[in-house]
Amino acid sequence: MQDFFNIESQLSEDERAVRDSVRRFVDERVLPIIGACYVEGRFPRELVPDMAALGVFGANLPEEYGCAGLNNVAYGLIMQELERGDSGVRSFASVQGALAMYPIYAFGSEDQKRRYLPRMAAGEVIGCFGLTEPDFGSNPSGMITMARERPDGTWRLNGAKMWITNGSTAQIAIVWAKTNGNPDDASIRGFIVPTDSPGFKAKDQKGKLSLRASDTSELVFDHVELPADALLPMSGGLKSPLMCLTQARYGIAWGALGAAMACYEEALSYGQNRVMFGRPIAGFQIQQERLADMLTEIVKAQLVSLHLGRLKDAGTFTPQQVSLAKRNNVSIATDIARESRRLLGAVGILAEYASMRHMANLESVYTYEGTHDVHSLILGQAVTGLNAFQ
């Protein structure tokens, strides 16, 4: 993609090198197969070892745990490039890094970190994140999954989670549950639950028309017994899973930008080649206006993402800033994908082209990790001081 605003000049050599490596991986390994995977409804698991070798899992976590130790702009660029390929592939990496590895890093004991993080970076242990329930999506504080502690420190877990990316693929699930019969969200703790535990069931959710190249599953915990060391000791209250979501949302803001870029490039290229009424359709005024709109939104989103990444690296960013970026970038990406699909005309409905796949995927990205509207309320509360959630 032409670097219209010379954003390149704002990236360090490392950041550019990281982006270029992941871009090459996506071009060579993801793009050739992803249309077919999407149609089949299959996550390309065979890519996981090479994604791990590339170093994309938990890439912004420290080297001492086997991770790449990159800064947050580089992490964002990884997500951008992965989602330029497919939102489902990027979701796998987001869940593994920001929602499974990060909670262990942030709330786990040193023993848990050493036991899990290096193997997760290597793709040998896959994780998933169990927060959302069938009846509690936008309102996670209402969750009913419950863990009860015994005198000997072991736990019994009961409940269900839904819409869990990697749920059927994962070896461990980071499950958020209220504890000891207390319905208040202050009682929420996090647990590392091995998916082969008796009473743990994962079931693929069928019939998806979006994020088809991704494992989306429901989880059921039927008297699952957990040892004392399954608890993430530093976790406590709703704040803990929300911190994980902030990490993931940051990556998603960049990822959506990648999807937008892929659609824009596809539209531009097609428009320059498709001849109608004696000239390329990109030479007609209506299409040029559309391309100009797409380009403008992409540039704005790039600058939002880059600045947010620098704030995150400086340690001064806020979750509300991440909300602004996620909400904006996903919204513009859905518009760009749809307009690109339309510019492609008839071929735009084929899986051979990326735009409609991105368009469908982005509906999930719009809805998950805080729907667009939830982020509107987060921003509304941030600027007015007034809570409009209920």
Partner 1 sequence: MKIAVCIKRTPDSESRFKIAPSGTGIDETGLKFDIDDFASYAVEVALRLNEKEGAGETVVLAVGPDALQETLRKAMSMGAERAIQLKCDSQPFDGLAVAKALAAELAGGGYDLVLFGKHAFDSSAGIVGTATATLLGIPCVTAVSQLEIAGGRGTARRDLEGVSELVTFSLPAAVTIDEGIARPRYPSLKGIMGAKKKPLEIKPAHLGAIRVVVSSMALPPERPAGRIIGEGPGAVPELVRLLQTEAKVL
Q: Closer to partner 1 at the Cβ: 93 or 219?
A: 93
Q: Closer to partner 1 at the Cβ: 14 or 124?
A: 14
Report if residue 68 touches partner 1, rule: CB under 8 A.
yes
Among residues 1, 20, 318, 350, which is the contact residue for partner 1, using CB under 8 A?
Answer: 20
Report if residue 55 touches partner 1, rule: CB under 8 A.
yes
Report if residue 234 touches partner 1, rule: CB under 8 A.
no
Q: Closer to partner 1 at the Cβ: 265 or 335?
A: 265
Choose one: 15-23, 146-154, 246-254, 376-384; the region binding partner 1 (CB under 8 A). Answer: 15-23
Task: Reply yes or no on whether 369 is catalytic.
Answer: yes
Q: Closer to partner 1 at the Cβ: 12 or 318?
A: 12
Contacts of 240 (CB under 8 A, 6+ apart): 103, 106, 107, 176, 188, 189, 190, 232, 234
Q: Closer to partner 1 at the Cβ: 67 or 100?
A: 67
Q: Closer to partner 1 at the Cβ: 56 or 224?
A: 56
Query: Least distance from C-beta 55 to partner 1, angstroms?
Result: 3
Among residues 17, 275, 292, 388, which is the contact residue for partner 1, using CB under 8 A?
Answer: 17
Among residues 1, 45, 62, 63, which is the contact residue for partner 1, using CB under 8 A?
Answer: 63
Choose one: 22-30, 202-210, 251-259, 293-301; the region binding partner 1 (CB under 8 A). Answer: 22-30
Q: Closer to partner 1 at the Cβ: 55 or 159?
A: 55
- Nearest in space to 100 (alpha carbons), one of 84, 80, 77, 124: 124
The distance of Cα 377 from the centroid of its chain, to the nearest Å, equals 21
Report if residue 124 touches partner 1, rule: CB under 8 A.
no
Query: Least distance from C-beta 186 to partner 1, angstroms?
Result: 38
* Residue 278 burial (C-beta neighbours within 10 Å; 0-12, 13-18, 19+): exposed
- Nearest in space to 72 (alpha carbons), one of 322, 285, 320: 322
Query: Least distance from C-beta 69 to partner 1, angstroms?
Result: 6
Among residues 34, 48, 54, 337, which is the contact residue for partner 1, using CB under 8 A?
Answer: 54
Query: Least distance from C-beta 9 to partner 1, angstroms?
Result: 10
Report if residue 48 touches partner 1, rule: CB under 8 A.
no
Q: 175 - beta bridge partners?
A: 130, 191
Among residues 30, 48, 59, 120, which is the contact residue for partner 1, using CB under 8 A?
Answer: 59
Choose one: 21-29, 208-216, 226-234, 237-245; the region binding partner 1 (CB under 8 A). Answer: 21-29
Which of 83, 297, 339, 369 is flagged as catalytic? Answer: 369
- Tell me the HSE value of 333 on the side-chain side, using a 13 A CA sphere: 35
Among residues 69, 118, 199, 380, which is the contact residue for partner 1, using CB under 8 A?
Answer: 69
Among residues 56, 192, 291, 374, which is the contact residue for partner 1, using CB under 8 A?
Answer: 56
The distance of Cα 266 from the centroid of its chain, to the nearest Å, equals 23
Among residues 37, 74, 128, 263, which is the contact residue for partner 1, using CB under 8 A?
Answer: 74
Site residues (vs partner 1, CB under 8 A) = 3, 13-14, 17-18, 20-22, 24-25, 53-56, 59, 63, 68-70, 74, 78
**Which residues are annotated as catalytic?**
369
